[in-house]
């Protein structure tokens, strides 16, 4: 809104602030006149002025926690769209990829019995069953195992050398609808190989495919699969941002085997990794691969349009607490500075002075408007004059 005045923006704002402050002071004066001096503050006023303010502060502080719970009405499920698992052997000389699996054998919500189990053992909180899925990958790699002869020699040498400790590395990643900046979330787990596992893998990769065959058209160089016990966590939590969190120190045993086909078109080998044990009589395509129970944190949905909000719990909550602290300090801190301007006996004359400035402005008397404003500023800069103008009318 625009109006003609002789005062600049900041002077106009100061005038408005003085007038509003004097109005509040006059309201407080009228309230105090209704009370007798020495009268005890009634209990209901203590309740509204103390208990309710305290409860309001608690609500402001802990209310934002609702934003991060599944009870938040503006959140939506952020379930898994796709998953990927890679397995490699890591040694002092480098990392050797073994397999990559990006096909899921099954993906479904957990059953009521599974949900009850998770709640009973406190693996989850108030998470909805609709946000908890059981993911099972296929057991076979997406592609044939391609490794050059020099790399194969280096890997075999490292496996057979006790002085070069080797490790398994399992990396898993999940893709969701959001948030936009991190739709894919991933993490890795390492497990040291035992000497027996290193020797067993060396025998697999240096053996002759077809040493052992089964009735399903597959053959292996070594009839015994490598059993890995601490690499695949059973329960994961997938936050909106960050990395997956392991909910319990419980791992599914995995069996690793190098397989090849019997016919001339499938002489190259590929790896399979199955949940549980593998036998020579297994039909490898029917085995279940790495499996997880994933608890997906919901994400905020935009109530004003299409799209999604992401959040950092620590960052957002820190901003909320800092804002609340500054607001409380503004209300209750350094109150002694405001005594000369708030604890007045009567503010009626100052309010009339401000209204006179408004009248001069609307009447087009801009010179008088500015002179009156300068006098008003002088009143507030002169404590004796301010005291005299705001004394009780009966003094």
Last residue of a domain, one of 255, 272, 297: 297
The answer as to whether 305 is a domain residue is no
Last residue of a domain, one of 236, 268, 297: 297
User: Is the same domain home to 235 and 211?
Assistant: yes
Residues of the domain holding 288: 78-297
- Token pair 């089964």 is at which residue? 214
Question: Per the structure, how many domains does the chain have?
Answer: 2
User: Is the same domain home to 293 and 244?
Assistant: yes
User: Is the same domain home to 267 and 129?
Assistant: yes
Evaluate the CA torsion angle 110, 113, 117, 120 in order and state its sign.
positive
DSSP string, 71-101: T-TTEE---EEEEEEEEEEEETTEEEEEEEE
pLDDT in the model for residue 354: 92
User: Is the same domain home to 274 and 378?
Assistant: no
CA distance 41 to 373: 39
User: Is the same domain home to 89 and 219?
Assistant: yes
User: Is the same domain home to 254 and 113?
Assistant: yes
The answer as to whether 361 is a domain residue is yes
Torsion of CA 237, 240, 243, 244, to 10 degrees: 10
165 Cβ partners below 8 Å, 6+ apart? 91, 92, 192, 193
User: Is the same domain home to 367 and 260?
Assistant: no
The answer as to whether 107 is a domain residue is yes
The answer as to whether 189 is a domain residue is yes
User: Is the same domain home to 60 and 85?
Assistant: no
**pLDDT of 312 higher than 60:** no
CA distance 352 to 354: 5
**Which position has the higher pLDDT, 235 or 40?**
235
Say if CB 348 and CB 26 are below 8 A apart.
yes
The answer as to whether 303 is a domain residue is no
The b/e string for 360-380 (b: 16+ C-beta within 10 A; e otherwise) is bbeeeeeebbbebbeebeebe
Lowest mean pLDDT among 39-43, 119-123, 152-156, 173-177: 39-43
**pLDDT of 100 higher than 90:** yes
- Split at pLDDT 50, 70, 90, the class of 277 is confident
User: Is the same domain home to 276 and 131?
Assistant: yes
Last residue of a domain, one of 244, 266, 297: 297
pLDDT in the model for residue 37: 77
**Which position has the higher pLDDT, 329 or 88?**
88
CA distance 219 to 212: 5
The answer as to whether 269 is a domain residue is yes
DSSP string, 130-152: GGEEEEEEESB-SS-----HHHH
**pLDDT of 209 higher than 60:** no
User: Is the same domain home to 379 and 241?
Assistant: no
User: Is the same domain home to 278 and 385?
Assistant: no
The b/e string for 290-322 (b: 16+ C-beta within 10 A; e otherwise) is bbbbbbbbbbbbeeeeeebbebebeeebeebee
- Split at pLDDT 50, 70, 90, the class of 394 is low
The encoded tokens of residue 327 equal 């607001």
User: Is the same domain home to 284 and 178?
Assistant: yes
**pLDDT of 196 higher than 50:** yes
The encoded tokens of residue 193 equal 């190989």
pLDDT in the model for residue 305: 44
The encoded tokens of residue 251 equal 């791992």
The answer as to whether 277 is a domain residue is yes
- Split at pLDDT 50, 70, 90, the class of 39 is confident
The encoded tokens of residue 213 equal 């065959």
- Token pair 């502060």 is at which residue? 57
The answer as to whether 1 is a domain residue is no
Mean pLDDT of 283-310: 72
């Amino acid at each position: 809104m625009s109006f003609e005045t002789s005062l600049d923006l900041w002077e106009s704002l100061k005038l408005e602030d003085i007038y509003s402050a004097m109005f509040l002071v006059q309201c407080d004066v009228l309230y105090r006149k209704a009370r007798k001096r020495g009268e005890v503050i009634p209990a209901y006023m203590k309740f509204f002025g103390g208990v309710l303010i305290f409860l309001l502060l608690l609500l402001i502080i802990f209310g934002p926690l609702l934003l991060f719970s599944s009870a938040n009405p503006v959140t939506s499920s952020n379930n898994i769209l796709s998953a990927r698992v890679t397995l490699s052997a890591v040694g002092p000389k480098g990392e050797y990829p073994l397999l990559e699996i990006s096909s899921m054998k099954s993906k479904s919500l957990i059953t009521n019995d599974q949900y009850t189990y998770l709640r009973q053992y406190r693996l989850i909180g108030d998470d909805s069953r609709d946000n908890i899925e059981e993911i099972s990958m296929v057991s076979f790699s997406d592609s044939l195992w391609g490794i050059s002869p020099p790399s194969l020699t280096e890997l075999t040498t490292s496996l057979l050398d006790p002085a070069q400790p080797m490790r398994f590395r399992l990396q898993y990643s999940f893709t969701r609808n959001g948030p936009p900046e991190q739709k894919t979330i991933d993490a890795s787990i390492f497990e040291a190989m035992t000497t027996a596992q290193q020797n067993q893998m060396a025998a697999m990769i240096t053996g002759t495919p077809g040493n052992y065959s089964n009735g399903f058209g597959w053959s292996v160089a070594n009839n015994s699969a490598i059993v890995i016990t601490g690499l695949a966590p059973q329960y994961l939590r997938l936050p909106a941002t960050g990395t997956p969190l392991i909910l319990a120190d419980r791992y599914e045993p995995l069996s690793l085997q190098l397989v090849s086909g019997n016919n001339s078109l499938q002489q190259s080998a590929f790896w399979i990794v199955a949940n549980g044990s593998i036998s020579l009589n297994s039909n490898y395509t029917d085995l279940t691969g790495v499996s997880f129970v994933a608890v997906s944190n919901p994400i905020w949905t935009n109530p004003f349009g299409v799209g999604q909000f992401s959040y950092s719990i620590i960052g957002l909550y820190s901003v909320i607490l800092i804002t609340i602290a500054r607001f409380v300090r503004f209300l209750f801190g350094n109150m002694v500075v405001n005594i000369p301007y708030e604890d007045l006996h009567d503010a009626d004359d100052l309010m009339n002075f401000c209204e006179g400035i408004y009248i001069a402005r609307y009447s087009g008397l801009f010179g008088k408007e500015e002179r009156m404003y300068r006098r008003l500023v002088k009143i507030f800069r002169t404590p004796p004059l301010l005291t005299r103008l705001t004394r009780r009318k009966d003094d």
